[in-house]
Chains A and B, each alone.
Chain A
């Protein structure tokens, strides 16, 4: 397959640019009700305003702290479960019924429970995020372990490595690239769940800020926050992708 020079896809810009211009035009020429509608110019100025005042950054910090903490907690639990159950088929089968019974529960269903136990605040949200992340991390870890070259495990056996040594010296390095991919995916999940909890119940973070903006009839701020949420998620993902290819290159 010969390499063609990559040219920029101008056609891809037609729709978004056209849409934004169209909306801006409608806003300036007609007097459409401004409760739920905001032209791009207003959204941009609202965005600039909330960023400058620090409100957006504070909310972002709150969301990221909770998402991050929940992610790390879920990562830890997922690894603690995934590694032994991945290594030992029997243990895996033994734990199957209890774990599979928990899996179908949608994490959002735990929001009221978490609210009950912890009340409003950070802990409640971290708990829900952790629960949401444990499942995927566990599954990823388990399948990554199962995918380890059998020869590597034989080497461990031949060298007479104990369980802990086996895990730290052979298993963990072998699955590291895949765990990083799982981490990136889990980060996306963590952010979405965090924002969902904030929109539904918890008065902190970006989700809550969006709800307040909507309730106080400030659609320009609401859309600005929405865009900011998307941007945050996208840049974190891009950052992790870059880190991944840096660290692992072709091995990823």
Chain B
């Protein structure tokens, strides 16, 4: 399919999306769709713009982003650091991998009651949950990346007499990067999910709290506005991540 054809179909897709939105607006106007469950798009838009400008949606969005980023950063530091140590040592892998494999299938959200028990409904609890949930994919990805060293590169490293630190930074790390980034991508998704859940449970600032409160008081337009913003955060973070990944892995054919 040529580029022009693709562009045309994409435009048609945009038109379809607009059409669907207009259809919903019409259905709502004709009271065929209860506005409690799906308010007319104009009202959602109004709630969105008002919330962002005069309301607190912007603050809440930033709070969610902050939770996401901080939790993810902790997970990344721990995950990559520990992953590098474990991945490069066959001994460490023998001792630790079985334990990690046992812990892996536990859903991260199931940890929440445990963390609440230890930390209470606090910011720390939230960050602990986010970090824990994002840690697993990053850790396992990093271990895999460092463990699966291309034997020829190991030969080259030894033949050139690279110091252990040089070998780690110049060969092992770049070689493991695709796996590390793969893990981080999943960790990123988990971070957003757990940040939202954490905010819903602890009632701390963030979009999770916003949408839960909106649902409780039947302010459906605000609820949808919050959901949209969460979608936007998810979309934007993936976009940024893709950019970063493409730059770091520019050498892939």
Q: CB within 8 Å of B: which residues of A?
A: 9, 11-16, 35-36, 89-90, 93-98, 101-102, 104-113, 115-117, 188, 191-192, 195-196, 199-201, 207, 210-211, 213-214, 219, 222-223, 226, 229-230, 233-234, 237
Contacts and interface: CB of A to CB of B under 8 A. Distances in A.
A35 B16 CA distance: 56
B227 A207 contact: no
Nearest to A114: B215
Contact of A14 (B16, B95, B192, B200): B95
B16 A104 contact: no
Of residues A108, A112, A207, which shows the largest number of chain B Cβ atoms within 10 Å of its Cβ? A112
Contact of B212 (A15, A93, A112, A233): A112
A94 B109 contact: no
A97 B19 CA distance: 12
Contacts of A222: 113-114, 117
Interface of B: 1, 6, 9-10, 12-14, 16-17, 20, 36-37, 91, 94-99, 102, 105-114, 116-118, 189, 192-193, 196-197, 200-201, 207-208, 211-212, 214-216, 218, 220, 223-224, 226-227, 230-232, 234-235, 238
A156 B10 CA distance: 29
A15 B96 contact: yes
Contact of A95 (B6, B16, B230): B16
Given A104-B232, A207-B109, A223-B114, A112 B10 contact: no
What 3 A-B pairs come out closest when comparing CB atoms?
A12-B98, A112-B215, A104-B234
**Is chain B's interface secondary structure helix, strand, loop, or mixed overall?**
helix
Contacts of A11: 91, 94-95
Given A13-B98, A95-B16, A109-B211, A200 B197 contact: yes
Contacts of B109: 192, 195-196, 199-200, 207
Contacts of A199: 109-110, 112-113, 197, 201
Contacts of B95: 11-12, 14-15
B6 to A, nearest CB: 7
A110 B227 contact: yes
Nearest to B117: A36
Contacts of A98: 13, 16-17, 20
A201 B200 contact: yes
A65 B234 CA distance: 30
A116 B9 contact: no
29 contacts: A9-B98, A12-B97, A15-B99, A94-B13, A95-B13, A98-B13, A105-B230, A106-B192, A106-B196, A108-B193, A109-B196, A109-B211, A111-B212, A112-B223, A113-B224, A113-B227, A116-B218, A116-B220, A195-B109, A195-B110, A196-B109, A196-B193, A199-B110, A200-B109, A201-B212, A211-B113, A214-B117, A226-B106, A237-B105
A226 B235 contact: no
Given A108-B197, A200-B201, 17 more contacts: A9-B98, A12-B98, A96-B13, A106-B231, A108-B208, A109-B231, A112-B214, A112-B215, A113-B224, A191-B107, A199-B112, A199-B201, A201-B200, A222-B113, A226-B110, A226-B113, A234-B105
Contact of B99 (A12, A95, A188, A219): A12
Contacts of A89: 1
B197 A113 contact: no
**Is chain A's interface secondary structure helix, strand, loop, or mixed overall?**
helix
A188 B136 CA distance: 15
A192 B107 contact: yes
B105 A97 contact: no
Contacts of B108: 192
Contacts of B96: 12, 15
Contacts of B102: 16
Contacts of B97: 12
A97 B212 CA distance: 27
A113 to B, nearest CB: 6
B186 to A, nearest CB: 12
Nearest to A16: B99
Nearest to A232: B105
Contacts of B208: 108-109
A161 B106 CA distance: 46
B200 A94 contact: no
Contacts of A116: 36-37, 215, 218, 220, 223
A127 to B, nearest CB: 12
